[in-house]
Structure 1
Amino acid sequence: MKINKSLLLNFFIILFFALISFKFNAYLGNGLLSVFILYKLYSSRAYFYAMLGNANFSKGAKDKALQWFKKASQVKNCPPRVAASYAYLLLKEKDIQGCRNILDKLITKENLNLDEESAIKMTLALVYWKEGDVNLAVETLEEVYSKFKNSTLYESLGYLLILQGDLEKALKFNLEAIDYDDNNDVIKDNLAQSYFRLGQYDKSAEIYEKLTEKGTFFAEPYYYYGLVLKAEGNTIKANEMLKTALSFKQSFLSDLTKDMIQSEINVMNQAL
């Protein structure tokens, strides 16, 4: 088991102050311990600011969330993971340049651990995609994949492989992804999209039917299930799915737009 050296050092420091308090001078020991705790709180304030940022973001207060994350990023020696989270939020809010400015600085830092380096590169890959270079985005994620794997990586790489156009490769990867995390709705959508784009509507419909019955937080399952139903001739239910897809807020980190959904609805209405 790998020992966290920082936690071990803190433990011995606290133990040392406790010994001073009990063996020699209680006032001195308690005073030193209080100063040490205050110092640790102050030196960890970037994490505290990030927690406030996350809390505000989950409530929908995006401006306040970004303010707290910006404050966290301005702390000297801000942890790379916190700064990378701020960069990702900037990207979600369409600030590509602001995101890239942070990531370009982070990626040159020395002593990044594998988790930190991977998180930075995964967001950087999304920047490349939004800048119009999906091939570089895929190459970057595949480099991460060779050393590191988590659900977020499978979500992003599975989706970008679809957009890149090698559908057989995308299907193979998304089948691997579903084996890695079969409870992830984004991964399920990637797999269903792969089947849809390859014309395997029955397999796509099986996944999308379950996703839409359960309910998801994003539009793609409803949109693509609508297209599957349309291809199968079920125009009434297809129209319902498309209208549900239109009710979701458009995501900057998706290739699906409200115009695309509305266009399909218009075609459907003419058919009906």
Structure 2
Amino acid sequence: MKFFTGFRVRAALIKQQKGDIEGARRSYAELYDNKVLLASYLLPYSLLLIRAGEYEKAKQVLLDAQKAPDLNLERKQQLYVNYGVALWKLGDEEGAIRNLEAAHHKYPSGIVYQTLGYLYIEQGNKEKALSYNEEALEYDHEDPIVLDNMGQTFYRLLNDKERALEYFKKAHKISSTKIDTLYFLAKYDIENGNNKAALEKIEIALAGNFSPLNYATEEKLNHLKAQIKE
């Protein structure tokens, strides 16, 4: 029975890896309904639920995942992040921040720095966003998401587009497909009259895999695209 359960979990994970999101979600749901308690599938299942807007269900799945016997350090970090995102999407901003701050103190990691740094920006906390994202940059100065967070801090909160551009360029050099970075760089291109370059960036961003915490939504990107006159 244990072997069969492991096989079903692996089969579900492979479906997701191959892009069969609906198939993976159905398989995860069957495992969950059958009371299979393994973080190896509960964590990706929770993320699919978050992407689908089922935040309350995701929250419950993550609460159950806390009791999973295969919850190692890396999975604990991911659990904290997913739970924080679910809380944020449910409107519990303070709870999300507290959860991720607790994760930072217990299990500091790149993914925690990325997520908490972004939520401080969304919260509009200038001082906290700047100090925390600077700390995140010391943790990993080549993390494109952290670099983008620094760019957004200067662009959105401190109204310093020149400093922001430095970080967006660095982020783009490391990873050329990050949706938010492409969005902001496209805005610079439009301001500079380089509509062709802006359109290229927007198209790449629109073809990307959107995260629940992307600042640049499809709607924002399409709105920006509409501003470009051929």
Query: Same fold by TM-score, threshold 0.5 exceeded?
Result: yes
TM-aligned CA deviation for residue 90 of structure 1? 1.9
Query: Following the alignment from structure 1 to structure 2, what is the Cα–Cα distance between the partners of residues 96 and 169?
Result: 26
Q: Which one-letter code corresponds to 2:9 in the other structure?
A: A
Cα distance change of structure 1 residues 72 and 178 upon mapping to structure 2, 3 Å threshold? farther
- Larger radius of gyration, structure 1 or 2? 1
Residue number in structure 2 paired with 1:29: none
Cα distance change of structure 1 residues 76 and 104 upon mapping to structure 2, 3 Å threshold? closer
Residue number in structure 1 paired with 2:43: 84
RMSD over equivalenced CA pairs, Å: 3.0
Correspondence 1:144 to 2:103: yes
**TM-score (normalised: structure 2):** 0.80
Which of 147, 155, 167 is matched with 1:196 structurally? 155
**Corresponding residue SS for 2:103:** helix
Query: Following the alignment from structure 1 to structure 2, what is the Cα–Cα distance between the partners of residues 84 and 234?
Result: 44
Residue number in structure 1 paired with 2:216: 256
Which of 226, 230, 241 is matched with 2:186 structurally? 226
Deviation string 1:31-51 (CA, Å, 9 cap, x unpaired) is xxxxxxxxxxx4255444333
**TM-score (normalised: structure 1):** 0.70
Deviation string 1:78-104 (CA, Å, 9 cap, x unpaired) is 234532332222212332232122123
Q: Residues 25-36 of structure 1: matches in 2 within 5 Å?
A: none
Residue number in structure 2 paired with 1:187: 146
Query: Following the alignment from structure 1 to structure 2, what is the Cα–Cα distance between the partners of residues 207 and 49?
Result: 43
Query: What is the identity percentage for the equivalent residue pairs of Structure 1 and Structure 2?
Result: 22
Deviation string 1:14-34 (CA, Å, 9 cap, x unpaired) is xxxxxxxxxxxxxxxxxxxxx
CA contact (8 A) 2:154 2:160 kept: yes
Structure with larger RCO (C-alpha < 8 A, sep 6+)? 2
Correspondence 1:49 to 2:8: yes
Cα distance change of structure 1 residues 211 and 147 upon mapping to structure 2, 3 Å threshold? closer
Which of 78, 93, 98 is matched with 1:134 structurally? 93
Deviation string 1:44-81 (CA, Å, 9 cap, x unpaired) is 55444333223221221112222333344355562345
Q: Which one-letter code corresponds to 1:61 in the other structure?
A: D
Q: Which one-letter code corresponds to 1:144 in the other structure?
A: A
TM-aligned CA deviation for residue 137 of structure 1? 1.2
TM-aligned CA deviation for residue 138 of structure 1? 1.3
Which of 77, 80, 84 is matched with 1:125 structurally? 84
Query: Following the alignment from structure 2 to structure 1, what is the Cα–Cα distance between the partners of residues 221 and 36?
Result: 45
Q: Which one-letter code corresponds to 2:226 in the other structure?
A: N
